[in-house]
């Protein structure tokens, strides 16, 4: 289950991500994702790191959510590679240790999946940049639990809000909170004339069945 804690933060986040083209909307000329899906939206939150004010906004608001929902954790864990930098910023803001987790173990060396020091029984909040199906994020949670961590929940910048992600998170008993999501993004994009009503329909249709969506 994913939730938005503050509607105004969700709208503001969506506005900032659109502004700096961290999120691109192109309903009439779709992107192809690595999974092979055709998609009218592309999201790369790493670009937020290049904009100090936006980076600060994300750091402060993710930290606020963590304290509001989970209290001060013992450790912040970023999911490699996209959320390492934002995870470090959040850990710095909260003044707690940081580790990062690969969705799969390293193929060489010590084959570590978790980098950094984690003690058995420590309370961990996971930081992620983007949630699509949630599969790689939940692989990271599984690795943390196997290492003895008590995973309090996960926070992320943005979620597409797929039904598949909702059921994956529910099944894994992971509480997910995001700064913004697809619904708030579409509201904001329409409100600021990034898209028109016809494009809104296309974008809504895609979200319902992204694997089989085709531009028509």
pTM score, whole prediction = 0.93
208 falls within a domain: no
- Number of folded domains that form the chain: 1
- Do the domain assignments include residue 185? yes
| Domain ranges, residue 26 | 2-202
Residue 183: inside a domain: yes
Cα–Cα dist 212/2, whole Å: 23
The answer to whether position 133 is within a domain reads: yes
Mean pLDDT by 10 residues, the chain (216 residues): 80 95 90 85 93 97 96 97 95 98 76 92 97 93 96 96 92 96 93 90 88 73
210 lies in a domain? no
- Assign residue 8 the CATH number of its domain: 3.40.50.2020
Residue 101 lies in a domain: yes
- Cβ proximity of 151 and 126 under 8 Å: yes
- The three-state secondary structure class of 149 is coil
Q: Is residue 57 in a domain?
A: yes
| Domain-located, residue 80 | yes
């Amino acid at each position: 289950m994913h939730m938005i804690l503050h509607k105004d933060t969700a709208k503001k986040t969506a506005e900032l991500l659109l502004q700096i083209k961290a999120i691109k909307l192109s309903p009439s000329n779709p992107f192809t994702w690595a999974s092979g899906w055709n998609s009218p939206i592309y999201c790369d939150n790493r670009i937020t790191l290049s904009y100090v004010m936006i980076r600060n906004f994300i750091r402060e608001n993710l930290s606020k959510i963590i304290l509001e929902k989970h209290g001060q954790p013992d450790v912040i864990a970023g999911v490699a590679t996209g959320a390492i930098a934002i995870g470090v910023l959040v850990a710095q803001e909260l003044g707690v240790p940081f580790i990062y987790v690969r969705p799969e173990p390293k193929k060489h060396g010590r084959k570590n999946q978790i980098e950094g020091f984690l003690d058995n029984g420590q309370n961990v909040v996971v930081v992620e940049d983007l949630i699509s199906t949630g599969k790689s994020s939940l692989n990271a949670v599984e690795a943390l639990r196997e290492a003895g961590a008590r995973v309090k929940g996960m926070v992320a910048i943005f979620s597409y809000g797929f039904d598949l992600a909702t059921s994956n998170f529910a099944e894994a008993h992971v509480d997910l909170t995001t700064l913004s999501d697809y619904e708030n993004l579409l509201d904001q994009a329409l409100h600021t004339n990034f898209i028109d009503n016809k494009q809104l329909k296309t974008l809504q249709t895609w979200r319902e069945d992204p694997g089989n969506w085709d531009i028509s």
